[in-house]
Structure 1
Amino acid sequence: MRRFLISCAAGCLACSTAFAAPAAVDDSVAFNATMAHLDKGGSSLYYGSCRAELAKVQELLGDLCGSSADVKPEMRQLLQGILAAVRILHLEAIQAMGSSTKQLPDGLTAYRSYLYTGNSSLPGVLFDLSGRENWAMQLPAQLPESTRLAFEYRFDFSAAWNSLVKEFAASAELSPEIKAIPAQLEAACRTAAGVELSALLKTLSGTWSLVVVSADPTVSPLPMLRLSMPDRDGVLFKLLQEKGGLQLTQKSAGRYSVVGLPLPVIPELVTANGTLTFYSDARLESMLKGGLMQSPTFRGYLAGIPARGLGFFYVNIDQPIWNLLVMQVEEPMIAGFLQKVPPPVFCSVTTREKDGFASTTRSNWNISSSSISTMAILSGILLPALNGAKEKAQALSPQPGASVPQAPAVQP
């Protein structure tokens, strides 16, 4: 049943990629603002109003939590937690959403999506964490052609934590035990790390980035990795030295070799300009000089991508890894579909707009609504039936060592 519901939900979502007009006059502003960020000449265009639906969900959860006698106490607590999360995260700020798909001349597909909020000063934990303003991203221009995974985002953990603590204290749905969790986390950080949680979150607030690059298999089969994170006050580096158990050998000012790890290469740790950067292979540092934007094979994925935004994401799965992933899929129908499509490449940037959030993505996958919805609905209907038939057949088949019942003799 769970698999059926998930599959049918995916099918309904895919089938909904048809153009929908605003449901009411009051929704026209959200409709126009959303459509202004989407491609109108593509293969699919979708718009949906979120405010009314979310209000209905909140009303339903409130009724189930308060008045329904059929709801078990454990389920009531879960529903109260969901209702509190919706209010704490201020999901009601998302009033409308839309998406579009457009085939590009270079064989790629452009996906655009938009969340309309209609408010430049958004409250809540999610918007404090990441979503206040666009900034010039550095990573896209540095990626080599052999990049398999990369992202760059700016987080403000300190502001998000302060908002979370205030929302917990003001929430009427949360129990006293749940409201005490922030104080317990602060005490645990103070005891385990010897530092105030507020100071740790402050030093970790800033730009985070990750790059994974295919390695030379003749030298090392492991991919090369670079993880860069903010450490403005040096608190994180001090924790790694004192609590992390790393064996660091200083090579030069701000550069250390991480020794004692069971790896074929010696990783490096670099501290500079309030940033802590970990290199699993020192060769990667010299490789991050660009190349992806000039690549004749992959530069199309970065064409038209905004230079400023809230975050950048890139994934490029090569054929050997894709084959291994497909082999792990147990459902024959889905595995057969994945075998027919190329290894996916996605490049996406999210931007903060005046009245919402926009996402621009380019990919080699042309995910048409008809194929996805058909596969999802068939999966939801056929697969549970096939599994049920398989289970019945196994139950009826004789077990090893069991006696097989004989048919009654026919009397002449």
Structure 2
Amino acid sequence: MRRNASTFWSWLWQAGLIAVISLHFWFPRYSQQPLNDTYSTERAGKKAFFLLEQRRFVEARRNDLSPASVVEEMYDDDVFCLLGPSRQPDQREWKVLLDWVEQGGSLIIAPAYGAPSLKIDELGLQVEPLFDFDINLGEMLEQVQEQNQEEEPQPVQTTLFGGGELRWRSTGKVTGDGGEVIVEFDDAAQAVLKPYGSGRVLLLASDEIFSNGSLAYKDNGILAQRLVESVASPESHVIFDEYYNSIGAPKVVGLLFDPLLRPLTVQLLALLLLFVWYGSRRFGRQLPALYKPRHNIVDHTDALGNMYYRTGDGRMALRDYYEQLRKDLQFRHMSLTDNQALETLARRADQEPQQVRDLLARANSAINGSKLKRRAAAEIIRDLATLRAGILRKQSVRAKS
């Protein structure tokens, strides 16, 4: 039974190792990266639209540089697409882009679906939410039900082409002064084209029309293409920005799973799994100990103490301590009737002679008795230790002086 359990865990560890190594060939999508960029094949991604533009124009490419760097490489008739960025440009970056547009470039701007908030003061245009997100969910549902009961939603109206079947999804609307409304839905402007200097700016309320899921619906692909062609010429280069997606996505934890560092991370995970597997069980036969542990004085003391405790008689411990004390203090052959020797010993211990005589008599009587309790033996040993400490302390003081 135990061998079967060991075999099961071995197969389980091997399956885990194979799963980690397979991450080299297939890695799951994790939420820290944006799902609506031109690399993504998810529904909100724009890879299909990027591949379409590569066929329709002279060149369509991605940009990973900052606006200050990319405008130096773009021509006046190029089109720069800022579709659903994870982070919007700041005031300084807007100025760099609009200065390039003023010289003849074209700019397409569309905030991410579900985040309809954008304002460009230089253009006098902004994107606002269709609904008041400060109200609670119940009030919002009541407003939607009232609108559905009053009238049917209006179809998508556009000046780019007619007669198509379109599906427009947006949570915002374009407001502001000036510009030509080229897409309108449910009495709300969804795409506004406005000249700026020698160039043009196309502002949309949502980037949903360019997504993979939207292009799959009937004539949505035609509308998406016509939106780009409204500011581009056949000789234009179309640049899709990925700079704001890369700096807007959190990278604190996901840095090791970046495509550049992912192979190294998978290798480290495999090595960690092998190390844990190696430490969790024994491979092969058990090796003998290389050396035997040495015994020290503590082991001897423990063994002697256990022996004294098991006998239950304190005479043995008292006798051994008393003999060692007489040897150390050099009164092994002293008799209790030798008053001169007792006075010398008492003077050395700074005690009364009678006190020393009584202590030694009590120790001799206990040793020669039939049985002695451990508590009584401990009290006598404690008194003898006090006598010994007094003599040694006085000898130490005399030696220093």
Q: TM-score, normalised by structure 1?
A: 0.19
Q: TM-score, normalised by structure 2?
A: 0.20
From the two aligned structures, give the one with the greater helix fraction.
Answer: 2
Larger Rg: 2
Structure with the bigger RCO (C-alpha within 8 Å, sep 6+) is 1
